[in-house]
């Protein structure tokens, strides 16, 4: 018993089955996790951070970076090994070849680090190894502006707000920026220290050993064991002030000032010109992002409105991943809903029967419910990729139902009874729609299983799996729901309404197909010219490999001259903020944040969410660049990869031994490149050389006086730095205690030279043991694959990526580099080339799979070739529509090309299957081709137009994947399906005719050959 026959003869069973599907679908939809990206979305990267503060980049390079690089180089599968040595230590960024098991790679890196650890300096304490994971990204970032009269902001944020938010289910970690904590400072007066002839070593050691709580064992009394704890904690500031030093009855207050205050500002964080704090929320792995964001937003609103301690505090969101997901999901839902309604209108236009249209349209929700059930019970989530798969499938979900219902309707019109027509109609086209569904499914296998591009594999796996679930469900619905409703719901031999417009189209088409069969050469010439014409848009359309998403922002690193004080930098940023806030509406600015310090300054413009925005980030960036003031000595560098559909950032790397020479080469390259069309900004990836003071220890002098070099280093270090001491414990909090010299002493090089060191019974100045020298030094040294490198970052927009790549390569190649120096393109350039290769590879494999599948199901090696011609016909429309609309060909569009391979052959399958049936009934070949093509014109147009019209909202709407629009994918499919459908109606029947005649000719020739051989053998 076939499925259609079962559905018609077992109505109660089928009805119960449909109700079960609805119930499970609703349950799955409610409970399925909502995430931004799937759990298997991960990169092939590792980071290693080895802190080594207050050192020289050259020292860090030689003592840490090079030994670690040598050890890591023994690991197989490393694509690029990058290191950045600075005064704070060394940072490694390792990129592995795609396909490497990152769990194994992490273990191997950890093993190599342990091997090399004995070779590293003793001061290297902790080494951090981190593997990239999407769960490591913050899901929520918001800004807080405390009132000016807030007495203890740190306590309210750290000890009240943080624990309150930390208790929310799903919150893993909370980070703060711009928050300063009050400390207890013991500030030494250098003159008093010298006056009383105190030993700094002894003084620091005494303070470090005081203020403790220590377990000293236990006492057994009366058969009971009592732990003994000695409490020597300070209970108030006066105890610290009156603590005896142990020399000349002096107390701490005699040589130092003790106070509870905020540390001196070394950095300033502002939000819209006012000092503030940013808070980043991270979720637990597996937690529902949307749910966690909702709970956090609700909790923040509640505590700020109900807790009197937060009176006057203001807060607003900078980045809300939950809302981004909701907006993207809603955009897709709305696009899908509109597309589904438009598809229903197309079906009604052709069928002209309301109930039949309703029955066909029901295949969309039923198929989606079934797909979500499959997704939920297979452990998947409803994320932006899986929902995109459902959205793409919406237009295709009615295809099978249209073919089945149209054939049933045709048989009813021929006089068959409702039940008989329902069973026979579904059975007749069962093979065709099964084959059409399988050809669409099979195109995802090459990209999911065999591609070299792992990101494309991940992308296609999540999108493709959802489409596969939906299409299998639509096939089930077409063979169960449509025959069931046709037999039980629709009227017996109801009056068939036909459109005069459609009948005229049929007549015109019948004439046109007859003409094309009689003028095959002309048709072949036209098709050849059209295919060749697609070469032009394919080679001239804009391309990019950019698939970056995230918060919409423009971030700049600002470099000030060394003589600019913190206050002067702050004033400059305040004026700059005011200037941009005057253009808040035009630039679609949500907020401006600034971070200022003497070593690092960043200016960030946060833009409206993509849902409310009209401008692309690239357009805003160009306007921002025009508004930047030109002040001598101040440099602006746009930072990082920005989220834009029109461009991105790429890198060029120069390699050599000398950093100064590399800088000269990079400056020359920058001058040549920044005038190219489409280049928004060019940055050299290193700061200018800083002035530093080098204190070289006079070893002979120190040895004669009995002073160790470490004593010299410690004295200088203690003079300039803040020395941490045991924490002060109060009733409600812990407070850090710091020992430092007074600011009036630290801001003078002469006072630094005059600090004293005990040499026996004498006190000698540091200058007696050291030689001070000022020199310029690079703040960091970068290496790539064990070679010193300097990167140049190019930010581009509104330009042909491939053309930009050629021009950049030409400029770099024309530069006369010194011997031993070279250049190379960055990762983004190579990614575009790899994406092109992967797309072509996957498309060829997909077409091959489709061809083989059709050969198996048709049991013919000729018929599949007459259908596969639809694939190049699709590329004509895709490339031309992408080129004409100015759409950028990115990985989204590449996905559309792969999907097209499976979709466009469906029309040919429906045509050829019906033609074969007519021929088996005894009809002449040419007559069967004309009649079969005319009979299938309506379902072909219906299935194509429902998909095309269904994707129009996605093509012209603002639906996006975290800032990456879906429109390139929709435009690719629309263009390809349009040309393929129109040309398939003529080309496939004509090629079928030619191949059938050729096959018949060779069959007769082979038969004649063997017959002649048989006669000759018998005559012998």
Q: Do the domains at 498-540+860-1015 and 551-639 have one common CATH topology?
A: no
CATH code of the domain made up of 551-639: 3.30.70.1430
Structure confidence at residue 213 (pLDDT): 59
The pLDDT of 753-769, averaged and rounded, is: 78
Q: At what angle do helices 454-488 and 363-377 cross, to 10 degrees?
A: 130
Q: How far are the Cα atoms of 4, 6, 488, 756 from residue 14, in angstroms, in the given order? A: 11, 8, 11, 95
Identify the burial level of 773 via C-beta atoms within 10 angstroms of its C-beta, where 0-12 means exposed, 13-18 middle and 19 or more buried.
exposed
Range name among 265-269, 396-400, 1009-1013 with the lowest pLDDT average: 1009-1013
**390: pLDDT strictly greater than 50:** yes
The pLDDT of 322-337, averaged and rounded, is: 74
**959: pLDDT strictly greater than 80:** no
The pLDDT of 741-764, averaged and rounded, is: 76
Give per-residue pLDDT as tens, 547-604: 555 567 888 888 888 788 888 999 999 999 999 998 888 888 888 888 888 777 889 9
Query: pLDDT band for position 844 (50/70/90)?
Result: confident
3-state secondary structure at position 785: coil
Structure confidence at residue 689 (pLDDT): 67
| Secondary structure (H, E, C), 727-768 | EEECCCCEEEEEEEECHHHHCCHHHHHHCEEEECCEEEEHHH
Strands 635-638 and 589-597: unpaired
CA-wise closest residue to 660 among 825, 814, 558, 777 = 777
Give domain 498-540+860-1015's CATH number out of 1.20.1640.10, 3.40.640.10, 1.10.10.60, 3.40.366.10.
Answer: 1.20.1640.10
Q: How many residues does the chain have?
A: 1020
Q: Are 847 and 868 in contact (CB under 8 A)?
A: yes
Range name among 203-217, 359-373, 840-854 with the lowest pLDDT average: 203-217
CA-wise closest residue to 7 among 436, 471, 404 = 404
Q: Rounded to whole angstroms, how far apart are CA atoms 782 and 763?
A: 43
Structure confidence at residue 876 (pLDDT): 92
Q: What is the dihedral of CA 348, 349, 353, 359, to 10 degrees?
A: -20
CA triple 402-404-405, angle to 5 deg:
65
CA 547 to chain centre: 6
Structure confidence at residue 1019 (pLDDT): 60
* Percent of residues, the chain, with pLDDT higher than 90: 8
| Secondary structure (H, E, C), 36-74 | CCCCCCCCCEEEEEEECCCCCHHHHHHHHHHHHHHHHCC
Structure confidence at residue 643 (pLDDT): 45
Give per-residue pLDDT as tens, 621-675: 888 888 999 888 888 887 654 445 566 778 889 998 888 888 889 989 999 988 8
The residues near 86 (Cβ < 8 Å, ≥ 6 apart) are 57, 60, 779, 780, 781
CA 659 to chain centre: 33
Structure confidence at residue 355 (pLDDT): 77
Structure confidence at residue 494 (pLDDT): 47
What is the residue extent of each domain of the chain? 136-183+266-342, 498-540+860-1015, 551-639
Neighbours of 508 (CB within 10 A): 10
DSSP codes, 413-426: HTT--HHHHHHHHH
Structure confidence at residue 551 (pLDDT): 65
**607: pLDDT strictly greater than 70:** yes
CA-wise closest residue to 350 among 938, 899, 840 = 938
More confident residue, 305 or 705: 305
**893: pLDDT strictly greater than 70:** yes
Structure confidence at residue 108 (pLDDT): 93
Q: Which residues of 674-703 are buried (b: 16+ CB within 10 A; e: fewer)?
A: eebebbbbbbbbbbeeeeeeebebbeeebe
Query: pLDDT band for position 979 (50/70/90)?
Result: very high
- For the four alpha carbons of 930, 933, 936 and 939, in that order, the dihedral sign comes to negative
Strands 45-51 and 89-96: antiparallel
Q: Rounded to whole angstroms, how far apart are CA atoms 823 and 217?
A: 65
The pLDDT of 200-225, averaged and rounded, is: 72
CA-wise closest residue to 678 among 792, 545, 799, 806 = 799
Range name among 142-146, 151-155, 669-673 with the lowest pLDDT average: 151-155
More confident residue, 395 or 879: 879
Structure confidence at residue 550 (pLDDT): 56
Structure confidence at residue 965 (pLDDT): 74
**20: pLDDT strictly greater than 80:** yes
Q: What is the mean pLDDT of the chain?
A: 81
CA-wise closest residue to 937 among 626, 602, 499, 540 = 499
Strands 734-741 and 183-188: parallel
Q: Rounded to whole angstroms, how far apart are CA atoms 263 and 638?
A: 31
**1013: pLDDT strictly greater than 80:** no
Neighbours of 790 (CB within 10 A): 26
Give per-residue pLDDT as tens, 449-488: 655 556 667 777 788 888 889 889 989 888 888 888 888 7
Q: Rounded to whole angstroms, how far apart are CA atoms 987 and 516?
A: 8
Phi, psi of 629, rounded to the nearest 5 degrees:
-70, 150
Q: What superfamily would CATH give domain 136-183+266-342?
A: Multidrug efflux transporter AcrB pore domain like (3.30.70.1320)
Range name among 209-213, 309-313, 319-323 with the lowest pLDDT average: 209-213
């Amino acid at each position: 018993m076939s499925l259609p026959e079962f559905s018609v003869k077992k109505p109660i069973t089928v009805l119960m089955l449909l109700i079960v599907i609805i119930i499970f679908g609703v349950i799955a939809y409610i409970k399925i996790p909502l995430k931004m990206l799937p759990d298997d979305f991960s990169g092939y990267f590792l980071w290693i951070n080895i802190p080594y503060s207050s050192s020289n980049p050259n020292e860090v390079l030689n003592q840490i970076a090079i030994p670690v690089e040598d050890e890591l180089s023994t690991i197989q599968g490393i694509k690029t090994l990058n290191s950045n040595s600075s005064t704070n230590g060394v940072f490694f960024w390792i990129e592995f070849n795609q396909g490497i098991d990152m769990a194994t790679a992490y273990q191997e890196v950890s093993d190599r680090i342990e091997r090399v650890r004995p070779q590293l300096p003793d001061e290297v304490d902790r080494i951090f190894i981190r593997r990239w994971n999407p769960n490591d990204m913050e899901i929520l970032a918001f800004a807080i502006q405390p009132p000016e009269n807030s007495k203890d902001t740190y306590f309210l944020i750290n000890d009240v707000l943080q624990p309150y938010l930390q208790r929310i289910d799903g919150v893993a970690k909370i980070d703060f920026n711009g928050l300063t904590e009050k400390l207890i400072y013991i500030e030494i007066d250098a003159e008093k220290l010298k006056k009383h002839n105190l030993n700094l070593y002894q003084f620091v050691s005494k303070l470090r050993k005081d203020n403790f709580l220590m377990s000293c064992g236990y006492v057994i009394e009366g058969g009971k064991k009592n732990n003994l704890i000695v409490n020597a904690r300070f209970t108030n500031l006066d105890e610290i002030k009156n603590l005896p030093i142990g020399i000349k009855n002096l107390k701490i207050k005699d040589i130092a000032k003790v106070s509870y205050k905020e540390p001196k500002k070394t950095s300033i964080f502002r939000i819209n010109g006012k000092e503030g704090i940013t808070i980043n929320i991270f979720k637990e792995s597996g937690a529902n992002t949307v749910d966690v964001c909702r709970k956090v937003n609700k909790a923040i609103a509640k505590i700020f409105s109900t807790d009197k301690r937060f009176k006057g505090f203001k807060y607003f969101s900078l980045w809300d991943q939950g809302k981004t997901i909701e907006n993207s999901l809603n955009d897709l839902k709305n696009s899908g809903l509109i597309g589904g309604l438009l598809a229903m209108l197309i079906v009604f236009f052709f069928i002209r029967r309301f109930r039949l249209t309703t029955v066909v349209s029901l295949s969309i929700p039923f198929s989606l419910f079934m797909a979500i059930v499959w997704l939920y019970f297979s452990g998947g989530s409803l994320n932006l990729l899986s929902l995109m798969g459902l959205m793409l499938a919406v237009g295709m979900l009615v295809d099978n139902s249209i073919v089945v219902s149209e054939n049933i309707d045709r048989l009813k019109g021929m006089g068959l009874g409702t039940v008989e027509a329902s069973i026979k109609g579904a059975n007749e086209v069962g093979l065709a729609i099964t084959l059409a569904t399988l050809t669409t499914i099979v195109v995802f296998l090459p990209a999911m299983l065999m591609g070299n591009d792992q990101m494309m594999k991940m992308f296609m796996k999540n999108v493709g799996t959802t489409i596969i679930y939906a299409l299998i469900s639509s096939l089930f619905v077409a063979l169960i729901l449509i025959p069931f409703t046709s037999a039980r719901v629709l009227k017996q031999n109801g009056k068939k309404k036909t459109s005069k417009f459609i009948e005229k189209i049929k007549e015109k088409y019948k004439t046109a197909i007859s003409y094309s069969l009689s003028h095959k050469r002309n048709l072949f010439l036209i098709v050849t010219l059209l295919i060749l014409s697609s070469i032009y848009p394919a080679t001239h359309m804009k391309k990019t490999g950019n698939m970056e998403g995230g918060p919409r922002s423009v971030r700049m690193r600002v470099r000030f001259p060394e003589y600019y004080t913190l206050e002067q930098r702050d004033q400059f940023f305040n004026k700059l903020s005011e200037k941009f806030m005057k253009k808040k509406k035009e630039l679609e600015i949500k907020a401006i944040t600034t971070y200022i310090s003497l070593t690092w300054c960043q200016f960030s413009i946060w833009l409206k969410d993509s849902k409310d925005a009209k401008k692309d980030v690239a357009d805003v960036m160009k306007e921002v660049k025009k508004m930047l003031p030109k002040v001598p000595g101040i440099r602006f560098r746009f930072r990082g990869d920005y989220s834009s559909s029109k461009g991105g950032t790429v890198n060029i790397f120069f390699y050599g031994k000398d950093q100064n020479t590399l800088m000269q080469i990079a400056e020359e390259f920058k001058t040549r490149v920044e005038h190219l069309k489409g280049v928004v900004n060019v940055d050299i990836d290193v700061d200018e050389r800083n002035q530093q003071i080098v204190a070289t220890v006079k070893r002979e002098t120190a040895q004669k006086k009995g002073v160790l070099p470490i004593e010299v280093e410690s004295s200088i270090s203690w003079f300039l730095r803040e020395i941490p001491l045991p924490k002060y414990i109060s009733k409600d909090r812990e407070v850090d205690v710091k020992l430092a010299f007074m600011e009036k002493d630290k801001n003078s090089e002469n006072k630094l030279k005059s600090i004293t060191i005990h040499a026996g019974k004498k006190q000698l100045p540091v200058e007696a043991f050291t030689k001070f020298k000022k020199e310029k030094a690079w703040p960091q040294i970068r290496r790539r694959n064990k070679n010193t490198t300097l990167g140049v970052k190019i930010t581009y927009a509104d330009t042909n990526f491939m053309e930009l790549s050629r021009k950049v390569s030409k400029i770099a190649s024309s530069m006369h580099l010194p011997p031993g120096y070279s250049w190379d393109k960055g990762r983004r350039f190579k990614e575009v080339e790899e994406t092109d290769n992967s797309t072509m590879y996957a498309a060829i494999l997909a077409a091959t799979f489709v061809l083989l599948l059709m050969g198996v199901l048709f049991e013919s090696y000729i018929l599949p070739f007459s259908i596969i011609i639809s694939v190049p016909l699709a590329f004509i429309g895709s490339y031309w529509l992408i080129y004409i609309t100015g759409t950028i060909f990115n990985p989204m569009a590449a996905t559309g090309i792969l999907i097209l391979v499976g979709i466009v052959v469906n029309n040919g399958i429906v045509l050829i299957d019906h033609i074969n049936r007519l021929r088996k009934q005894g009809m002449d070949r040419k007559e069967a081709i004309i009649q079969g093509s005319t009979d299938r014109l309506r379902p072909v147009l219906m299935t194509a137009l429902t998909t095309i019209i269904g994707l129009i909202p996605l093509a012209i709407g603002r639906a996006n994947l975290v800032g990456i629009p879906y429109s390139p994918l929709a435009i690719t499919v629309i263009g390809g399906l349009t040309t393929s459908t129109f040309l398939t109606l003529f080309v496939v029947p004509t090629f079928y005719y030619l191949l059938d005649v050729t096959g018949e000719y060779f069959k007769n020739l082979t038969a004649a050959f063997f017959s002649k051989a048989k006669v000759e053998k018998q005559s012998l």
